[in-house]
Amino acid sequence: ADSDPIKVGVMLPFSGVYAGLGESTRNGLKQALKEQGNSIAGRPVEFIEMDTEAKPARAPEITSSLVDNQKADFVIGPVHSGVAMGMIKTIKGKDSIMIIPNAGANAATGAFCQPNVFRTSFSSWQTAFPMGKEAYDMGYKKIVTMSWNYGFGKESLEAFNESFTKAGGEVIKEMLVPFPKTEFQSYLTEIASINPDAVFVFFAGGGAVKFVKDYDAMGLKGKIPLLGSGFLTEGTTTAQGPAAEGVITTLHYADALDIPKNQRFRQDYETLYGKPADLFAVQGYDAGQLIAQAVSATGGNTTDKAALIQQMEKLEIDSPRGAFHFSKAHNPIQTIYLRKVVDGQNTVVKVAQDHLEDPARGCKL
Amino acid sequence: MNQTILEAENLCKFWGGLKALNELNIQFKDKQLHSIVGPNGAGKSTLLNTLCGAYPATSGVILYHGKPITHLKGYEFCREGIGRSFQKTNIFHNATCLENCCIAAQQRIGGSFNLFRKRSKNRQITEIARKALQQVGLTARADTRATEVSYGEQRQLEIAMVLATSPKVLLLDEPMAGMGHEESQTIISLLKELKQQYCIVLVEHDMDAVFELSDLMTVMVDGQHLITDTVDNIRNNPLVQDAYLGNDDEVF
Amino acid sequence: MDTSLFLVQLLNGVQYGLLLFLIASGLTLVFGVMGILNLAHGSMYMIGAYLAYYFTTLTDSFLLAFLISGTMALVIGIIIERFLIIHLYKRDHLDQVLLTVGLIFIFNATQSFVWGNDPLGVEVPELLSGSIKLTDIVEYPVYRLFISLLCLLVAATMYFTINKTRLGMMIRAGESDRAMVENLGVDISKLFTIVFAIGVFLASLAGIVSAPIVSLVPGMGEHVLISCFVVVVIGGLGSIKGAFVAALIVGIVDTYASVLVPQASSMSIYLLMALILLAKPQGLFKN
Amino acid sequence: MQNILEVHGLQTLYGESHILHGVSFDIKSGETVSIMGRNGMGKSTTLKSILGIAPPRSGSVIYKGEDITRLPTWKRMRRDIAYVPEGRGMFHNLTVKEHLQIAARKNSRGDANWTYDQVLEVFPRLTERLTNKGTQLSGGEQQMLAIGRALLTNPDLLILDEATEGLAPLIRKEIWQVIRQIKDSGVSTIIVDKNIKVLNELCEKHILIVKGKVMFQGDSRSLDDNKAFIEQSLAV
Amino acid sequence: MSIFSSKSEKIFIYLFFAIGLFIPLFLEGNTFYINKFSTIIILSIFVMSLDYLVGRTGLITLGHAMFYGLGGYIFTILAPEYEAVNFWVYTFYVMLISGFIALIVGLIVLRTSGIYMIMITLALAQMTFYFFADSVEYGGLDGLFVYIKPETSIFGLSFLDLDNETHFYYLCLLSLFNCFVFFKVIMNSSFGRVIDALKENPDRAIALGYNIFHFRLIAYVLSSSLAAYAGYLFALQFGFVNPSMMSWDISATALVMALLGGLGSVFGAIIGSFMYEGLHYYIEHLTEYWMFFMGVLIIALVLTLKHGIAGFLNALGGKRS
Ligand SMILES: Nc1ncnc2c1ncn2[C@@H]1O[C@H](COP(=O)(O)OP(=O)(O)OP(=O)(O)O)[C@@H](O)[C@H]1O
Ligand SMILES: Nc1ncnc2c1ncn2[C@@H]1O[C@H](COP(=O)(O)OP(=O)(O)OP(=O)(O)O)[C@@H](O)[C@H]1O
Ligand SMILES: [Mg+2]
Ligand SMILES: [Mg+2]
């Protein structure tokens, strides 16, 4: 019936290394729906939260719980790409719509794209590709790249490499660190000995904190500029302290992004949760907005998923990061900013690339 | 004359710098009880352990029926028919006494790699095991768990297990240690009986038992062979008295 | 690789190895010497780091934080031993696994409840925050050298205590035969409580001093746990010297592997352990 | 003379099985006492109950006038009791030297009649083995070490459970010699052993335990008087 | 003659499989619960194989998940991507290949014992983990998909449709049953006698003439290939394999389940898995800090139960095994 709740399954890591990201995402999601008075087109919204523990092996089971048992209309999740793959596999052909609020694996909206899978965050490719050209334009010709040896990291390096070489630069060395190792001394020593024009890295979370601090402590920061995919300085600058000052990154968002929507969003978030919003909150928030707008557009009808999907494909989301809409593969077409850490905050230097669309390689949608 | 079954030629076993066995030559004959005595740390246990393959020899040869077996693996010695008991009780504490002997017997009978045959189905094994228990006088304890029998009875079980492997040579390391008088008597009469059929090597500090049982005695000191002779000769040998026995009975 | 680079990498390896030793030292004591399998060792490392964070923020003094956190760790150690571990000495080792897995869960939940899940960092104390210039491009953080020094100190103290003092003999004897030590008139349960608490303290100490050079994240304890076991086992159970040498080997191998054979570097320490155990099934220094 | 030890009505169980049924006896200061009995009759259990290793369910142990029934084992030992258990209790990770060092201490009166060197003098065999681990010794060497270790605590009451088991005759004699020496120095001793003849000679008092009960106690003279009964109980 | 070693075990097994047989009738249509049960049953098989190895043979491993993962990977790699293969044939392949790998691994790890064996199994498992996690062709950390589930016909007759959750459930239940019977039979066999002996006192077993290495190796191979079978079922259930199946915390969790259930009792493995997973599922829905309560519960259980739940039940039943 029409007053039945809209079921929103939330599959995020609430324990383990990624728990912080899970929490922010959930907060953002709830904020968006709270703005709608927790009801859409007269139907209340019910959340069912599950902890993925960021363990891919558990992903299919939990997804199945939400999809088959709880009959969730939407499943929001996950943070971790490995989990995303397990989820997509399970949700394929099912009658629920999955909205990925973070995981960046290119394949999620590439080779494995599905009609009922949307992403409100980014593809790994998107976050690193624009930096290649920017780096070249800044005058760096020979660069060392480095990341953890896993999907997100490698995809980021590839994307960077793609545009950097196209612009005319040369990646003279690519270093892959076993995940989740954070003992960087030997790599840093090697970087010092190579002495490139700049270094481009992908690290996130605790690894990012450690890397940036070590980079500084080794005395490299003043000598070799540090560039990165935006996650290097997302939610980590407080922990990094002064070591993060001046690090340049590209991302589809920046805390200090100076547009009214963002300011309002951040203010509300702070009053609601008592701490500043971050990128993950934005992505969760947009997942919430997406649900709200799509369900409103169908007049509260969630049984006809095909119609719902059609609505979602057409929507323009007014995100704190700036408006975006979805590509054919259901990945946001969005603006990527060039950012620099100033006084512990990611400030926007300029727009690196406007309305960047992921190539969605391998997607047949 | 009885034929030599087991012999050691120039057998050496070194522990680091310590020569626990030093160029030892010794022969054991069939159907004889040959006891080895010597002060503590003389290398008696080491000799038994080397003869049964538990320790690899540092150098030297062990001959069994005239053929060298020094290179064999530890577990293969038992299969050849060299059974041994331990100075420190070494049994399967959680199993019943009967089961302890069954484990020993099964090795002989075979079928240990049979995954699907119920173990209790094998009559032959159980019979051998019961017989062994009976020989040492433990029949009444067959179904008691080995931890629950007294120390002396555990020593008896220790011997029963060796018997259950149907050995040709018995290497017994202080079987009487810790046994009460009555139990010792049981073992003594058992050994008397067994030496009719087996070659027995006995290490024991209980001199009454040794003198009563031995056909031949060897005295070892510091890893070396001191003397091998009959009981009477040994008893009166001044060298032995000096090194091992002391002058008279166990009073001061 | 030119010589100076080679040497700097060696320094990295040694420095990392020493840190590993510090983290593993408590485990060597509790597991290697006392024979208690404490899987929550990593969690204590984590708790140490978080406590250091908490008290440095509170008091603005790393030294003060160091003292308070260290004391708290000792107390936690005493509590765990007195109320939990004490029931398990007569039981199978595996029951200790079960119990300490339970502790890991509790510590993780506590950490996430108290400190949240965002990565946190601690500033290097002012006094030690400089760097030393090694080559024209490489500088070395003084704080890391300080940690190395501390590790050496801990190693020496432990080696001496365990091997040369009567207390150390009693601890070792206790691992071999608890009841017999008691028969000698030693209050073995108190002794074990103290040693366990020291083990926990050492784990936390490692957490505290590495807080400024690592990032504090949930689950950081589990990552170090395996490395600790690798170190203790390669060295040979119960051998402080072994653990020390093993830690250095692991540190150096890991360092060179990551620059020389990056493809296989994730496996390097495991390969190392497997090879060592095949050649010496009891570890390097098991007597 | 004063009683150094009084044992009253010990009832001891291992789980379900009831081993001691009211064992009582006392020992005077300086006395050497034997406990005899066949295998499994509860001799060792009696000793363990006295020491708190197998705590009795009921009954009491009075040592030097103090009720120590509820004390933990280590505190009893601290009151100058030493114990050589059956099985010897070697530490696999301590060297012979360390076995001795760990045990050495002055007694509660601050006396140290036994020193490290003295012990090695009594057991010269151990001198050659100082760097070996306890469990790497031969059976007899372990026994020597166990006794030496006990002596180094400089006890007032020495408890020996089958201390001569596995020793060569010559050494056995030496051990008896040592025990006599100990006796002469005024230390009270409880001995469990198989060798009745020696015990008869050495001990002032004898206790016979059958199925967890004291069936006889008395001096050597009355031991001779009850020879038939005793021999039957010991199945000699 | 019965294969049970205690009355409690018998009652438990009868009850469990009786309920197991009928439960899908009550869950009509609720595929989630059916799936959940299948998952736990698969886990039970895995835990049971570990329980046998650790509890019966005395060989403790922290690398058992390696075979669990390999089971999944062997199938996924071997089976053609877009073609339905035969389930039974691939069961055979998976067990054969994993058995062969276990043989090689066993030859290495069984040279050590105790904690050293724990560590060397852990090392090999981590190496395998990183092998798959770093590999490009096997999907790296993101894992691989199984696109088409196998068909299950024997001689052209097909009873089970693996895409049907209920059918799959019964396949799992049957597998668990077979596994249980298999372990009980080998435990009671002549082989089992030697295994019991060498667990308790390996030195004596050698002195009795047993080449204990061979026996351990056989036990290791059997246990490992059944673990692989469980991993194979997991891959079939979710159509997905991932290196994290091999990570050490899966091994550790399985060990915890086996311990909770009562080590060496085999039926305890079923209890342990169901209890752990059940508690986990239940508490997780109550609170975000589920770990705390789970930890407290585990500790309470260790302190109160000496031989896990199976031991407790056996004590209740009043008969020792
Ligand atoms: N594993 C070992 N490592 C080092 N030395 C050892 C080892 N085993 C025995 N020894 C030494 O070898 C010597 C001979 O020991 P063995 O056990 O053979 O003596 P034994 O003649 O049986 O003495 P006992 O009558 O006291 O049992 C002893 O001095 C002992 O310390
Ligand atoms: N830990 C134990 N658990 C259960 N029963 C035990 C235990 N220790 C000893 N017993 C039993 O208690 C009884 C008495 O044992 P105890 O060791 O006191 O005998 P003992 O007189 O010293 O014999 P022995 O001369 O053989 O050493 C024996 O029947 C033995 O089986
Ligand atoms: Mg000997
Ligand atoms: Mg006794």
* Complete DSSP assignment for E113-174: -HHHHHHHHHHHHHHHHHHHHH-TTTTGGG-EE--SPPB--BTTB----TTSHHHHHHHHHH
Q: Does D112 fall in a domain?
A: no
To test the pocket of ligand 1, the residue of D138, D142, D172 to mutate (highest count of ligand atoms within 8 Å of its CB) is D138
What is the model's pLDDT at position C215?
86
Q: Which amino acid belongs to residue B208?
A: D
Q: How far is the centre of ligand 4, averaged over its atoms, from the C-alpha of A323 (Å)?
A: 88
Q: How confident is the model at residue E158 (pLDDT cuts 50, 70, 90)?
A: confident
Q: Does D33 fall in a domain?
A: yes
> For chain D, what is the mean pLDDT?
90
The predicted-structure confidence for D195-228, as pLDDT tens digits, reads as follows: 888 888 899 999 999 999 999 998 888 888 888 8
Q: Which residue of E has its CA nearest to B125?
A: E190
Q: What is the tally of structural domains in chain C?
A: 1
Q: Does B120 fall in a domain?
A: yes
Q: Does E150 fall in a domain?
A: yes
What is the model's pLDDT at position D236?
66
Which helix (DSSP H) or strand (DSSP E) does residue C185 occupy? none
Complex ipTM: 0.86
- Dist CA C29 CA C181 (whole Å): 18
Nearest to A157 by CA among A141, A168, A167, A171: A171
- Dist CA E46 CA C233 (whole Å): 27
The verdict on the CB of residue D14 being under 6 Å from ligand 2 is yes
The predicted-structure confidence for D18-69, as pLDDT tens digits, reads as follows: 999 999 999 999 999 999 988 888 999 999 999 999 999 999 999 999 999 9
What is the model's pLDDT at position B103?
93
The predicted-structure confidence for D153-174, as pLDDT tens digits, reads as follows: 999 999 999 888 888 888 888 8
What is the model's pLDDT at position B126?
93
| Phi and psi torsions of D107, nearest 5° | -80, 180
Query: Is the pLDDT confidence value at A100 over 80?
Result: yes
Q: How many CB atoms lie within 10 A of CB B90?
A: 17
Q: Are residues B141 and B176 in the same domain?
A: no
> For chain E, what is the mean pLDDT?
90
Sign of the Cα torsion C75, C79, C82, C88 reads negative
Sheet holding D157-161, edge to edge: D81-84, D157-161, D188-192, D32-36, D205-210, D213-218
Contacts of D162 in chain B (CB under 8 A): 178
Q: How many CB atoms lie within 10 A of CB B249?
A: 12
To test the pocket of ligand 2, the residue of D43, D160, D214 to mutate (highest count of ligand atoms within 8 Å of its CB) is D43
Beta-strand pair B224-229/A39-40 = unpaired
Q: How far is C47 from chain A (nearest CA, A)?
A: 15
- Kindly give the number of the ligand 1 atom that is closest to the alpha carbon of B38: 21
Please tell me the residue having the least CA distance from ligand 1 atom 31: D137
Residue whose structure tokens are 């080779």: A111
Q: Are residues B126 and B151 in the same domain?
A: yes
- Please identify every stretch of chain C with a pLDDT value under 70, giving residue numbers as ranges: 1, 287
**Please, what is the Cα angle at A196 between A194 and A202, to 5 degrees?**
100
pTM: 0.88
> For residue E68, what is the DSSP state?
H
What is the model's pLDDT at position A215?
93
> For residue C213, what is the DSSP state?
G
Say if the Cβ atoms of C169 and D72 lie within 8 Å. Answer: no
In chain D, the percentage of residues whose pLDDT exceeds 90 is: 55
CB nearest D74 (choices: C172, C182, C287)? C182
Contacts of E209 in chain B (CB under 8 A): 75-79, 107-108, 165
Retrieve residue D178's tokens. 């040592």
Please list the residues that pair with A324 across neighbouring strands.
A317
The verdict on the CB of residue D10 being under 6 Å from ligand 2 is no
Q: How far is the centre of ligand 4, averaged over its atoms, from the C-alpha of B212 (Å)?
A: 26
Q: Does E303 fall in a domain?
A: no
- Kindly report the CATH number assigned to the domain that includes residue D3: 3.40.50.300
Is the Cβ of B120 closer than 8 Å to some Cβ of chain E? yes
Q: Mapped to the 3 state alphabet, what secondary structure does chain A carry?
A: CCCCCEEEEEEECCCCCCHHHHHHHHHHHHHHHHHCCCEECCEEEEEEEEECCCCHHHHHHHHHHHHHHCCCCEEECCCCHHHHHHHHHHHCCCCCEEEECCCCCHHHHCCCCCCCEEECCCCHHHHHHHHHHHHHHCCCCEEEEEEECCHHHHHHHHHHHHHHHHHCCEEEEEEEECCCCCCCHHHHHHHHHHCCCEEEEECCHHHHHHHHHHHHHCCCCCCCCEEEEHHHHCCCHHHHHHHHCCCEEEECCCCCCCCHHHHHHHHHHHHHHCCCCCHHHHHHHHHHHHHHHHHHHCCCCCCCHHHHHHHHHHCEECCCCCCEEECCCCCEEEEEEEEEEECCEEEEEEEEEEEECCCCCCCCC
Say if the Cβ atoms of B74 and E188 lie within 8 Å. Answer: no
Q: How far is E72 from chain A (nearest CA, A)?
A: 11
Contacts of A55 in chain E (CB under 8 A): 244
Chains in contact with chain A (at least 3 beta-carbon pairs closer than 8 A): C, E
Beta-strand pair C139-141/D3-14 = unpaired
Q: How far is the centre of ligand 1, averaged over its atoms, from the C-alpha of D16 (Å)?
A: 39
Using CB atoms within 10 Å of the CB of residue B120, give its burial: 0 to 12 exposed, 13 to 18 middle, 19+ buried: middle
Work out the average pLDDT over E241-245.
90
Please tell me the residue having the least CA distance from ligand 2 atom 26: D39
What is the model's pLDDT at position D175?
83
Q: How confident is the model at residue A281 (pLDDT cuts 50, 70, 90)?
A: very high
Contacts of C186 in chain D (CB under 8 A): 74
CB nearest A81 (choices: E30, E130, E142)? E142
Say if the Cβ atoms of E193 and B102 lie within 8 Å. Answer: yes
Q: Does D108 fall in a domain?
A: no
The verdict on the CB of residue B42 being under 6 Å from ligand 1 is yes
Q: How confident is the model at residue A2 (pLDDT cuts 50, 70, 90)?
A: low
The verdict on the CB of residue D48 being under 6 Å from ligand 2 is no
Retrieve residue B149's tokens. 């029998």
Work out the average pLDDT over A50-59.
84
Q: Which residue of A has its CA nearest to C104?
A: A16
Contacts of A19 in chain C (CB under 8 A): 112, 117, 218
- Dist CA A356 CA E159 (whole Å): 52
Is the Cβ of C96 closer than 8 Å to some Cβ of chain A? no
Q: Are residues B212 and B102 in the same domain?
A: no
Nearest to D102 by CA among A13, C185, E228: C185
CB nearest A69 (choices: E30, E244, E291)? E30
- Radius of gyration over every alpha carbon of chain A, rounded to an integer in angstroms: 20
Give alpha helix (H) positions in chain C.
3-27, 41-59, 62-83, 93-115, 142-164, 166-176, 178-183, 188-210, 220-235, 240-260, 265-279
Q: What are the residues whose beta carbons fall under 8 Å from the beta carbon of C213, sequence distance 6 or more? A: A210, A213, A214, A217, C124, C141, C143, C144, C147
In chain A, the percentage of residues whose pLDDT exceeds 90 is: 69
Q: Does D17 fall in a domain?
A: yes
Retrieve residue A211's tokens. 């890397």
Q: What is the tally of structural domains in chain D?
A: 1
Q: How confident is the model at residue D1 (pLDDT cuts 50, 70, 90)?
A: low
Say if the Cβ atoms of B250 and D194 lie within 8 Å. Answer: no
Please tell me the residue having the least CA distance from ligand 2 atom 7: D14
Q: Quick check: B113 and B106 in contact, CB under 8 A?
A: no
- Kindly give the number of the ligand 1 atom that is closest to the alpha carbon of D168: 25
Retrieve residue A361's tokens. 């390689």
Query: Is the pLDDT confidence value at E321 over 70?
Result: no
Q: Which amino acid belongs to residue C29?
A: L
Residue whose structure tokens are 């076995």: D99
The predicted-structure confidence for A292-309, as pLDDT tens digits, reads as follows: 999 999 998 999 999 999
- Kindly report the CATH number assigned to the domain that includes residue B42: 3.40.50.300
Q: Which domain holds residue B227?
A: 29-55+69-81+169-252
Chains in contact with chain E (at least 3 beta-carbon pairs closer than 8 A): A, B, C
What is the model's pLDDT at position B112?
86
- Dist CA C23 CA C42 (whole Å): 8
Say if the Cβ atoms of C119 and A239 lie within 8 Å. Answer: yes
Q: Which domain holds residue D232?
A: 1-80+204-236
> For residue C263, what is the DSSP state?
G
- Give the mutation candidate from E5, E187, E193 for the B interface (greatest B CB count, under 10 A): E193
The verdict on the CB of residue B40 being under 6 Å from ligand 1 is yes
Q: Nearest ligand, CA of residue D144? A: 1
Coil/strand/helix, residue B20: strand
- Kindly report the CATH number assigned to the domain that includes residue C234: 1.10.3470
What is the model's pLDDT at position D20?
94
Q: How many CB atoms lie within 10 A of CB A238?
A: 15
The interaxial angle of helices A260-273 and A279-297, nearest 10 deg, is: 100
In chain B, the percentage of residues whose pLDDT exceeds 90 is: 50
Interface of C with A in 160-219 (CB under 8 A): 213-219
Q: How far is the centre of ligand 3, averaged over its atoms, from the C-alpha of B160 (Å)?
A: 20
- Dist CA E29 CA E33 (whole Å): 9
List the catalytic residues of D: 162
Work out the average pLDDT over B78-91.
88
Segment of A329-333, B188-192, C115-119, D128-132 carrying the highest mean pLDDT: A329-333
- Dist CA E223 CA E201 (whole Å): 21
Cβ burial C197-219 (10 Å sphere, 16+ → b, else e):
bbbbbbbbbbbbbbbbbbbbbbb
Chains C and A touch (3+ CB pairs under 8 A): yes
- Dist CA D178 CA D184 (whole Å): 10
What's the residue count for chain A? 365
- Kindly give the number of the ligand 1 atom that is closest to the alpha carbon of D138: 17
Q: Are residues B111 and B34 in the same domain?
A: no
Q: Nearest ligand, CA of residue D36? A: 2
User: D178 or B27: which carries more pLDDT confidence?
Assistant: B27
Is the Cβ of D235 closer than 8 Å to some Cβ of chain B? yes
Coil/strand/helix, residue D24: strand
Residue whose structure tokens are 């999955």: A98
What's the residue count for chain C? 287
Work out the average pLDDT over E238-248.
88
What is the model's pLDDT at position A61?
84
Q: Does B95 fall in a domain?
A: yes
Q: What are the residues whose beta carbons fall under 8 Å from the beta carbon of D34, sequence distance 6 or more? A: D190, D191, D192, D193, D199, D202, D203, D205, D206, D207
Q: What is the tally of structural domains in chain B?
A: 2
In chain B, the percentage of residues whose pLDDT exceeds 70 is: 97
User: E49 or E153: which carries more pLDDT confidence?
Assistant: E49
Q: Quick check: D208 and D34 in contact, CB under 8 A?
A: no
Using CB atoms within 10 Å of the CB of residue E151, give its burial: 0 to 12 exposed, 13 to 18 middle, 19+ buried: middle
Q: How far is A68 from chain E (nearest CA, A)?
A: 5
What is the model's pLDDT at position E154?
83
Q: Quick check: E50 and E255 in contact, CB under 8 A?
A: yes
Q: What are the residues whose beta carbons fall under 8 Å from the beta carbon of C47, sequence distance 6 or more? A: C73, C76, C107, C110, C111, C204, C207, C221
Please tell me the residue having the least CA distance from ligand 2 atom 31: B150
To test the pocket of ligand 2, the residue of D11, D12, D19, D35 to mutate (highest count of ligand atoms within 8 Å of its CB) is D19
Q: Which of B131, B166, B201 is the last residue of a domain?
A: B166
Contacts of E197 in chain B (CB under 8 A): 92, 95, 103
Residue whose structure tokens are 């302290």: A241
Q: Which domain holds residue E51?
A: 30-246
Query: Is the pLDDT confidence value at D5 over 50?
Result: yes
The predicted-structure confidence for B137-146, as pLDDT tens digits, reads as follows: 889 999 999 9
Work out the average pLDDT over B206-218.
91
Q: How many CB atoms lie within 10 A of CB D190?
A: 26
The verdict on the CB of residue D95 being under 6 Å from ligand 1 is no
Please tell me the residue having the least CA distance from ligand 2 atom 22: D44
Q: How confident is the model at residue A15 (pLDDT cuts 50, 70, 90)?
A: confident
Query: Is the pLDDT confidence value at A278 over 70?
Result: yes
Q: What is the tally of structural domains in chain E?
A: 1
Q: Which of B102, B136, B166 is the last residue of a domain?
A: B166
Q: What is the DSSP string of B146-204?
A: GGGS-HHHHHHHHHHHHHHT--SEEEEESTTTT--HHHHHHHHHHHHHHTTTSEEEEE-
Sign of the Cα torsion B99, B104, B108, B112 reads positive
Q: Quick check: E113 and E54 in contact, CB under 8 A?
A: no
What is the model's pLDDT at position E320?
46
Please tell me the residue having the least CA distance from ligand 1 atom 3: D136
Q: Are residues B178 and B197 in the same domain?
A: yes
Largest Cα–Cα separation, chain C: 63
Say if the Cβ atoms of E295 and C274 lie within 8 Å. Answer: no
Q: Nearest ligand, CA of residue B24? A: 1
Q: Are residues B108 and B185 in the same domain?
A: no
What is the model's pLDDT at position A89?
83
